[in-house]
Structure 1
């Protein structure tokens, strides 16, 4: 086993970047006295919402349908079937928006749909974003610089790398700006709602590594 001195350091990097995507969640509801009527109304609203989403073309990367449920509404919360007073349907649609130029208009138009609840935008980077890799490289360079600084202070020099471990690379929204909207479009309403002015939230990407280097014997000790 080598008796060369070891220098262990931690390198860190913090980068700021503009978001690359925005995620929206749209919840559509129906409520009718009859189970089939509630389901039919929910299917109708779901189709209308998807048609609106598809009209934006490639600005929306992919719509995904989440959970769908038809739930009996009980009078006085009793379990007797005779106490069911109606049925409520819910469907959840998840959207990934890549063109922020249409985002404000899209959010308001979705919120203007009948019995629609919109949550978002949640700003994010893509999982394979180059920003994550760049942060990792900068963290590794910082580890080298720090190790050389310690070696210089001790009167020695770095001779080799023993190990380098990645503590993980991740990004998060530092100033998330969630927006919630409820819509109940009046029958025959012709006016479109005014688009919201949405400002993308800066993404903070952090990376950290732990490194161990061999060094020459200190001259000052």
Structure 2
């Protein structure tokens, strides 16, 4: 007895899946919601570069170690005002004589770079002035920023969603109808498309370098925090009740 092959039903289209561009029975609206906030910064970063120079490697290294310890000790005296303290690059290298034959070492030069993040801006002006008052010490900053988990980012995202809903409702009202359902909500660029760029906020970086400590303590700098610009964008798609055209 010969068995007949099983018959498989022909595949049918999934009628439950909405059409990509809507249908007359479920017209689709696509909008973009944007939010722009201007808020106070939460942290300030300063960079400190300590240098040393000596006729031999050991002298340069000893001076560099001493000056680096002085900077770290000063930063640590500000306690919780300095939230993060990191040592970055360290270099020590020979300097060749400009004149004469052969590779003759004239001196050794070294440097250490330290980055500090502060949350107490009242201590910032005094600290930067005291650091700049140290021998062969360069201070760069401050640069202002928000924390990665700042509530300002969440506020901007919520406002962007509300803006998308408001715009979609306006389109629907222009056709004398209403929204029916949310089909999709996504960050701009989440689907693989290029995100819309925003202009970068101007930096607020200052550099101060002193060759020797002043005889009298310098007055603290008056540093005004730079307001931060927070942006958020979302793409949203809705269906609406079919309008009468």
For residues 108-119 of structure 1, what are the structure 2 equivalents within 5 Å? 108-119=129-140
Residue from 210, 215, 235 that aligns with 1:183: 210
Distance 1:144 1:34, change over 3 A: same
Distance 1:15 1:25, change over 3 A: same
Alpha-carbon shift at residue 209 of structure 1 (Å): 0.4
Alpha-carbon shift at residue 171 of structure 1 (Å): 9.7
Alpha-carbon shift at residue 184 of structure 1 (Å): 2.5
Q: Aligned pairs, how many?
A: 217
Q: Is the 8 A contact 1:123 1:173 kept in 2?
A: no
Q: Partner of 2:217 in structure 1?
A: 192
For residues 49-198 of structure 1, what are the structure 2 equivalents within 5 Å? 49-76=71-98, 80-81=102-103, 83-167=104-188, 174-186=201-213, 190-198=215-223
Most deviating of 58-67 and 162-171: 162-171
> What's the RMSD between the two structures over aligned residues?
2.2
Deviations 1:193-216 (A, max 9, x none): 110001001111010100000111
Q: Radius of gyration: which is bigger?
A: 2
Deviations 1:75-127 (A, max 9, x none): 2399944x211111010000001100010011111111100010000011111
Which 5+ residue runs of structure 2 have no aligned equivalent? 1-16, 190-194
Which 5+ residue runs of structure 1 have no aligned equivalent? none
Distance 1:200 1:209, change over 3 A: same
Q: Partner of 1:203 in structure 2?
A: 228
Query: CA–CA distance in 2 between the matches of 1:100 and 1:217?
Result: 56
Alpha-carbon shift at residue 176 of structure 1 (Å): 3.1
Query: CA–CA distance in 1 between the matches of 2:54 and 2:136?
Result: 13
The structure whose residues are more often helix, as a share, is 1
1:43 has 2:65 as partner: yes
